[in-house]
Amino acid sequence: MLAAVMAFAACNSSGDMSVASPDGKIVLDVAADSSGVVSYRAMADGRQFARPSGLGFDMEVFRNGVAEPEKVSLNGGFKVTSCRHTRQDYVWTQPWGENKTIRCRYNEMAVGLSGNGGFLVTVRFRVFDDGFGFRYEVECPGADSLRVMAEKTMFSFDADADSWSIPANFDTYELDYRALPLGEVPDANTPVTFRTADRALYGSVHEAALEDYPEMTLTACGRNAGAAVFESSLAPWPDGVKARFAGSSFKTPWRTVQVGRRAVDLVNSALILNLNEPCALEDTDWIKPMKYVGIWWGMHTGVQTWKMDERHGATTENALEYIDFAAANNIQGVVFEGWNEGWESWGGMQSFDFTKPYADFDVAKVMEYAREKGVSVIGHHETGANIPNYERQLEYAYEWSQDMGMHYIKTGYAGGVPGGHKRHGQYAVRHYRKVVETAAAHEISLDVHEPIKETGIRRTYPNMMTLEGAKGMEWNAWSAGNPPVHYVTLPFTRLLSGPMDYTPGVFDVLLESTKHSPLRQKWNGLDRGDSRVNTTLACQIACWVVLYSPLQMASDMIENYEGHPAFQFFRDFDADCDWSRALDGEPGEFISVVRRAGDRYFLGAITGDSPRTLQVPLDFLESGKEYRAVIYADGPDADWKTNPCSYTISEMTVSSDDVLEVKMASGGGQAVVFFPAC
Ligand code: NOJ
Ligand code: CA
């Protein structure tokens, strides 16, 4: 892994501070005006992309043991003290990921500033071919402690750009996406993705390496000469402080802007990972991607319960059956939700116990059986967001899980965080980080539901494998559900931040097997009794490829897979891919993605409401080789509303010279496995 690091001249004699991407196509300039207001702007392909946008903070400083803080405005009054350029170019590998090998190549410009109140701020800009990021490194020599009262980072792009985002909310990401002209977005959580009106450029604003800071959302603060202007908003502590630091310095996460000429460039970008620290773990051999099933959908559809009663899902008997199914179907993992005591308190005190199984779940027997069958058990920790209760048990619970042989844990935070804390504030960010580090110390990999947003922490801690962090499959069990457009928006928004545990693959799309069951009880206030999955069956299969997760679930109850011909796709699918490429797509319309695992390729394509036919060149296949393509397609009469379960399975021999016609119904999709022909 080599790197060329070189410092060369500071800013040029006219005082311009400028840095270009290695390919020269993105140019970022920094300027300080006469009142010391510092701003950045970015050109892409010779046109203004990010308009001049200010940088700064409102701070409070504690010094000399004095109880009252001094308020300091860092919105102007800056003097530029230095401007240093460096560059990097190296290749790194990760134990798992969409791509196991990644090139990290950027030009850096570190602008040193001295500000009011004795503050020294370095703004470090890194410009890549696929976008840019910058972070603040703030120091106030001699301070006892620091408080960020507001971050004043501005973002400004063409107001008439089309955009896709969820509203800003410091407690949840499980919200519907909106497609709006950027100038009409009142506030948004990141990633916020947009496309210029002439469709020449795509961008997405997010953050990288959120380690000890609150999350950032965007709040619109007006329009200016055709530009939509946003300011960063930070999730507050209960007392209104945004971030607090003992000592005299801190670093923010990277503020990131991905840039592409096609929508799929954003999907194929590794900018977020490249702005994270290298792997902190010496040994990562224990971290393995896998497919899984679990006792889960029955609870969401209301025919089983998490708590121990006559409808209890996670009984020893059911668990053994799921292990048998996994072992027989080339599935490496199983999750059992509702295995532990505390579910009676869900929605109330949220006092779960993470080492006490319910009396009808013989954990030792289940673990022994799983071991014999070569299946991994994913432990489940629903915390109800009672962070203090979880932290009290954390060390012991992870030690116990490791001793029991559980090498994966799914966590959940369904509930409000006690003490008036926001789920996305600095307090919670520190908690999520502590869990990742504790899990790593016990060689346990994580699947986090109701998480703090993914910002690339997986590079540093690859045991942080997958997260929910958007409306997932569960919403289809007990609400109006996720419309087709949701599936074709996720890859261009939420998934730009990292893997998602959407848990696709429900085959009983209309919930026929649970809707009329005498066992079914409504448990969720949004349940109107008419829930269903709002796609075709073939689209659900394609989502296993499209919605990347190194822990990929087949989320239906196993009785809906037994004997189903289309389940062969999941048997053949490999969650441990080596290489991926998003081929084509537009946010909210469609996407096609290919992944390679060993010598097999998996193609997934999905469409929103409009039926669509794609011509997909197979030039990603190894040239000069023949492949047996097994194609899982929408039936000719399929339609997500009226005939979602019509599908076909066909086979053909193909090579890299061929073009595959991929025909998809409304709300449909197609999945293909390419096996090397022997
Ligand atoms: C919400 C999670 O997203 C879901 O997967 C889980 O089943 C429930 N919480 C209960 O823990
Ligand atoms: Ca959830």
DSSP 292-305: EEEETHHHHTTSSB
Whether the upstream peptide bond of residue 518 has omega within 30° of 0, thus cis, is no
More confident residue, 2 or 485: 485
The neighbour count for residue 622, using CB atoms within 10 Å, is 14
11 has a pLDDT exceeding 60: no
Contact between 115 and 152 under an 8 Å Cβ cutoff? The reply is: no
Counting atoms of ligand 1 from 1, which one is nearest the CA of 449? 3
More confident residue, 219 or 4: 219
Catalytic residues: 474
β-strand pairing of 445-448 with 464-467: parallel
β-strand pairing of 187-195 with 464-467: unpaired
C-beta 313 within 6 A of ligand 1: no
**Distance (Å, rounded) from C-alpha 566 to C-alpha 562?**
10
* CA 461 to centroid of ligand 2, rounded, Å: 22
Give the closest residue to 28 by CA, choosing from 4, 55, 54, 51. 51
* Shortest-distance ligand to the CA of residue 524: 1
pLDDT (0 to 100) of residue 379: 98
* CA 2 to centroid of ligand 1, rounded, Å: 43
Q: Is 10 exposed, middle or buried (0-12, 13-18, 19+ CB in 10 A)?
A: middle
* CA 520 to centroid of ligand 1, rounded, Å: 18
Helices (H) and strands (E) in the chain, counts: 13, 36
The neighbour count for residue 7, using CB atoms within 10 Å, is 11
pLDDT (0 to 100) of residue 2: 37
453 has a pLDDT exceeding 50: yes
10 has a pLDDT exceeding 60: no
C-beta 501 within 6 A of ligand 1: no
Core vs surface per residue 501-531: b (16+ CB within 10 A) or e: bbbbbbbbbebebbbeeeebeeeeeebeeeb
* CA 449 to centroid of ligand 1, rounded, Å: 7
Confidence band of 222 (pLDDT split at 50, 70, 90): confident
Counting atoms of ligand 1 from 1, which one is nearest the CA of 503? 5
Residue count of the chain, please give it: 678
Residue in 337, 345, 556 to alter for ligand 1 test, most ligand atoms within 8 A of Cβ: 337
% of residues, the chain, pLDDT over 90: 97
Counting atoms of ligand 1 from 1, which one is nearest the CA of 472? 3
8 has a pLDDT exceeding 90: no
Q: Is 374 exposed, middle or buried (0-12, 13-18, 19+ CB in 10 A)?
A: exposed
Contact between 380 and 339 under an 8 Å Cβ cutoff? The reply is: yes
* Shortest-distance ligand to the CA of residue 414: 1
C-beta 634 within 6 A of ligand 1: no
- pTM exceeding the 0.95 threshold for the entire prediction: yes
Residues lining ligand 2 (ion), CB within 5 A? 449, 468
C-beta 382 within 6 A of ligand 1: yes
pLDDT (0 to 100) of residue 15: 56
C-beta 449 within 6 A of ligand 1: yes
Q: What is the mean pLDDT of residues 646-654?
A: 98
13 has a pLDDT exceeding 70: no
Confidence band of 14 (pLDDT split at 50, 70, 90): very low
Q: What is the mean pLDDT of residues 606-623?
A: 98
- Protein residue with least CA distance to atom 7, ligand 1: 296
